[in-house]
Amino acid sequence: MVRDYEEALDYFIGKLDFTLVEDTPAPDQHKRWVVITPLPASGCHLLLARASTPEQHAAIGQQTGGRVFLFLHTDDFWRDYRRYRSRDVEFVREPREESYGTVAVFRDLYGNLWDLLQPVRHRGDDGGTP
Protein backbone atom coordinates (compact mmCIF):
# COMPACT_ATOMS: atom_id res chain seq x y z
CA MET A 1 0.00 0.00 0.00
CA VAL A 2 1.45 3.36 -1.05
CA ARG A 3 0.39 7.01 -0.81
CA ASP A 4 1.50 7.96 -4.29
CA TYR A 5 2.75 5.96 -7.26
CA GLU A 6 5.51 8.38 -8.27
CA GLU A 7 7.01 8.76 -4.80
CA ALA A 8 6.96 4.97 -4.39
CA LEU A 9 8.65 4.44 -7.76
CA ASP A 10 11.27 7.09 -6.94
CA TYR A 11 12.08 5.24 -3.73
CA PHE A 12 12.04 1.63 -4.91
CA ILE A 13 13.71 2.27 -8.26
CA GLY A 14 15.89 5.25 -7.31
CA LYS A 15 17.10 4.13 -3.88
CA LEU A 16 16.72 0.35 -3.84
CA ASP A 17 17.47 -0.34 -7.54
CA PHE A 18 14.24 -2.22 -8.18
CA THR A 19 13.06 -2.55 -11.79
CA LEU A 20 9.68 -1.47 -13.14
CA VAL A 21 7.88 -4.48 -14.60
CA GLU A 22 4.54 -2.93 -15.50
CA ASP A 23 2.76 0.40 -15.21
CA THR A 24 -0.70 0.12 -16.74
CA PRO A 25 -3.37 2.79 -16.22
CA ALA A 26 -6.81 1.70 -15.03
CA PRO A 27 -8.64 5.01 -15.64
CA ASP A 28 -12.10 3.65 -14.86
CA GLN A 29 -10.85 2.86 -11.33
CA HIS A 30 -8.60 5.94 -11.01
CA LYS A 31 -5.69 3.56 -10.40
CA ARG A 32 -2.65 2.08 -12.06
CA TRP A 33 -1.36 -1.47 -12.09
CA VAL A 34 2.24 -0.82 -10.97
CA VAL A 35 4.50 -3.85 -10.54
CA ILE A 36 8.18 -3.76 -9.53
CA THR A 37 10.84 -6.39 -8.93
CA PRO A 38 14.12 -6.41 -7.00
CA LEU A 39 15.67 -8.75 -9.57
CA PRO A 40 13.92 -9.51 -12.87
CA ALA A 41 15.21 -13.10 -13.07
CA SER A 42 13.95 -13.89 -9.55
CA GLY A 43 10.25 -14.12 -10.37
CA CYS A 44 9.50 -12.01 -7.29
CA HIS A 45 7.20 -9.06 -7.95
CA LEU A 46 5.53 -6.44 -5.78
CA LEU A 47 2.33 -4.62 -6.63
CA LEU A 48 2.35 -1.00 -5.53
CA ALA A 49 -1.30 -0.32 -4.68
CA ARG A 50 -2.23 3.31 -4.07
CA ALA A 51 -4.45 3.72 -1.03
CA SER A 52 -7.88 5.05 -1.96
CA THR A 53 -9.95 4.89 1.24
CA PRO A 54 -9.36 6.28 4.74
CA GLU A 55 -8.92 2.72 6.02
CA GLN A 56 -6.30 1.98 3.38
CA HIS A 57 -4.46 5.24 4.11
CA ALA A 58 -4.39 4.31 7.80
CA ALA A 59 -2.80 0.96 6.92
CA ILE A 60 0.12 2.43 4.96
CA GLY A 61 3.30 1.30 6.68
CA GLN A 62 1.33 -0.64 9.30
CA GLN A 63 0.37 -3.68 7.29
CA THR A 64 2.26 -6.04 9.60
CA GLY A 65 1.85 -4.28 12.93
CA GLY A 66 5.47 -3.15 13.10
CA ARG A 67 7.10 -6.49 12.30
CA VAL A 68 9.58 -7.08 9.52
CA PHE A 69 7.48 -7.29 6.39
CA LEU A 70 9.75 -8.44 3.58
CA PHE A 71 13.15 -10.05 3.08
CA LEU A 72 15.41 -8.61 0.40
CA HIS A 73 18.10 -11.16 -0.42
CA THR A 74 21.48 -10.04 -1.72
CA ASP A 75 24.56 -11.84 -2.98
CA ASP A 76 26.81 -9.10 -1.51
CA PHE A 77 25.48 -7.72 1.76
CA TRP A 78 28.17 -5.09 2.35
CA ARG A 79 27.96 -3.70 -1.20
CA ASP A 80 24.21 -3.20 -0.93
CA TYR A 81 24.28 -2.02 2.68
CA ARG A 82 26.85 0.69 1.85
CA ARG A 83 24.98 1.73 -1.31
CA TYR A 84 21.67 2.02 0.56
CA ARG A 85 23.29 3.97 3.39
CA SER A 86 24.79 6.38 0.85
CA ARG A 87 21.25 6.89 -0.51
CA ASP A 88 19.85 7.69 2.95
CA VAL A 89 17.95 4.44 3.39
CA GLU A 90 17.07 4.34 7.09
CA PHE A 91 18.48 1.30 8.89
CA VAL A 92 16.80 0.64 12.23
CA ARG A 93 18.91 -2.39 13.18
CA GLU A 94 22.59 -2.47 12.40
CA PRO A 95 24.22 -5.37 10.52
CA ARG A 96 24.82 -8.55 12.40
CA GLU A 97 25.90 -12.08 11.70
CA GLU A 98 23.31 -14.74 12.40
CA SER A 99 23.35 -18.48 11.83
CA TYR A 100 21.26 -17.95 8.68
CA GLY A 101 23.34 -15.08 7.24
CA THR A 102 24.27 -11.40 7.45
CA VAL A 103 21.26 -9.17 8.11
CA ALA A 104 20.24 -5.59 8.84
CA VAL A 105 16.74 -4.11 9.09
CA PHE A 106 15.72 -1.02 7.15
CA ARG A 107 12.56 1.05 7.06
CA ASP A 108 11.09 1.98 3.70
CA LEU A 109 9.59 5.40 2.99
CA TYR A 110 6.23 4.27 4.37
CA GLY A 111 7.55 2.74 7.57
CA ASN A 112 7.49 -0.93 6.56
CA LEU A 113 10.41 -2.95 7.91
CA TRP A 114 12.58 -5.05 5.60
CA ASP A 115 15.47 -7.43 6.22
CA LEU A 116 18.43 -6.91 3.92
CA LEU A 117 19.81 -10.43 4.03
CA GLN A 118 22.70 -12.33 2.56
CA PRO A 119 21.85 -15.93 3.42
CA VAL A 120 24.59 -18.33 4.44
CA ARG A 121 25.60 -20.41 1.45
CA HIS A 122 26.01 -24.08 2.17
CA ARG A 123 28.35 -26.30 0.24
CA GLY A 124 26.63 -27.38 -2.94
CA ASP A 125 24.14 -24.50 -2.75
CA ASP A 126 23.78 -22.91 -6.17
CA GLY A 127 22.27 -19.76 -4.63
CA GLY A 128 18.84 -20.44 -6.09
CA THR A 129 15.68 -20.23 -4.09
CA PRO A 130 13.07 -22.96 -3.88
pTM of this prediction?
A: 0.86
| 87 three-state secondary structure | coil
Region(s) of the chain under CATH 3.10.180.10? 63-130
Q: Band the pLDDT of 130: cuts 50, 70, 90.
A: very low
Q: Quick check: 128 pLDDT over 90?
A: no
CATH superfamily for domain 63-130:
2,3-Dihydroxybiphenyl 1,2-Dioxygenase, domain 1 (3.10.180.10)
Q: Quick check: 65 pLDDT over 50?
A: yes
CA distance 23 to 13: 13
| 70 three-state secondary structure | strand
Query: What are the distances in angstroms from CA 58 to CA 65, 92, 111?
Result: 12, 22, 12
Q: Quick check: 11 pLDDT over 80?
A: yes
Q: What is the mean pLDDT of residues 89-111?
A: 97
